[in-house]
A = this chain, B = another copy of it.
Amino acid sequence: MRDIKQKILKNQYAGMRLPDERSLSEAYGVSRSSIKRALGILAQQGIIFKKRGSGTFINPLYLKNQSLFHYEGSNLGITDSFQLDGKKQSIQLLDYQVVPASADIQEELFLSDTDFVYQIKRLRLIDDQPFMIETGFIPIKIVPTLSPAVVNSSIFNYLEDTKGKRVTKSFTTISVSPSTADDQQLLELKPTEPVAVMDGVFFLDDGTPFEVSSMRIHYHYMRYSTFINLDQEG
């Protein structure tokens, strides 16, 4: 899959058309089923279109606009969703405490009355411009070793590097809101300027809910792109 994707990017297929599946199968020395799986994922991502009876074609929009297409939604809809390429990221820790899990949070993280969570509020900046206020809740029993030092950078990376646990799934809702006084102060907004709100639950590989998070994003930096494909939905 990766190799075919590279070839598409490098324009190594003539006429926006890929070889047929049987040829690819032979060329790569794998079964047709495996080729089919690879192409299926690329089709799901909108990189190619399959047309029964005629062949498999590259989506021209993808070539023109990879930067957008590169499927920002795929990065779990968080920091990487924003244009952080060459820019300096930083974090200000605004709040860090351990509190009992509220009823709402118990429900979303599958906790009981007796569970505690970290409550972490951070301001994220790029090139010293504040762009997002993030308030997250994480069960202490999942990462008992969290500390303010860790929280000053990526919690997801910490988890992956030290515990081998990956955060690979999320359920997120995006909405829009006028800015509150708190937003205006922290994000340096005028009263007429709005924020985007992303509320989400993040899960580990195995489905364990790991964090509930609410993000308030400076409207100027909010941009969320997705490719939707209804083919595989029964």
On A, residues with C-beta under 8 Å from B are: 1-2, 5, 41, 44-46, 49, 51, 57, 59-61, 64, 68-69, 73-74, 76-77, 107-108, 110, 168-178, 191-196, 201, 203, 205-207, 209, 217, 219, 222-234
Contact = CB atoms under 8 A, between A and B. Distances in A.
B229 A175 contact: no
A64 B107 CA distance: 9
Nearest to A60: B110
Interface of A is mostly: mixed
Chain copies in complex: 2
A227 B171 contact: yes
Given A41-B232, A46-B169, A175-B219, 8 more contacts: A60-B110, A61-B108, A68-B173, A171-B226, A171-B227, A173-B225, A174-B222, A174-B223
B222 A171 contact: no
A11 B219 CA distance: 41
Contacts of A168: 229-231
A85 B223 CA distance: 28
B1 A234 contact: yes
18 contacts: A44-B232, A76-B228, A77-B226, A168-B231, A169-B227, A172-B225, A172-B226, A173-B223, A174-B222, A175-B219, A175-B224, A176-B196, A177-B194, A192-B192, A193-B194, A194-B194, A205-B231, A224-B224
